[in-house]
Amino acid sequence: MLTAFGIFGTGMILGAGLALLFAPKAGHEIRHDIAEKVGEIGEHLRAQVPQPATSTNGPNA
């Protein structure tokens, strides 16, 4: 079951996609805009994922 945030996010993505499809731009401009937006979303998602630890603080053997 989707949460309210999930439904909102899905609607935003679909709305943005439809806006790009119906925008009065040339195809190569739209493809560039889509690639740019996907890159931004990827960067945002990478920033949200915690980085793995480079060392452990476990007991010494």
**11 domain-assigned:** yes
Global model pTM greater than 0.75: no
Domain of residue 35: give its range: 7-47
Phi-psi map region of 2: left, alpha, beta (phi>0 left; psi -120 to 50 alpha)? beta
Q: Give how many domains the chain has, as a whole number.
A: 1
Of 15, 22, 17, which Cα lies nearest the Cα of 37? Answer: 17
Q: How far apart are the C-alpha atoms of 44 and 3, rounded to whole Å? A: 21
Residue-wise pLDDT tens for the chain (61 aa)? 568 888 888 889 899 888 877 878 787 887 888 889 889 988 888 888 777 767 667 666 5
Write the CA distances from 33 to 8, 13, 55, 58, integer angstroms.
22, 14, 40, 47
In a domain, 2, yes or no: no
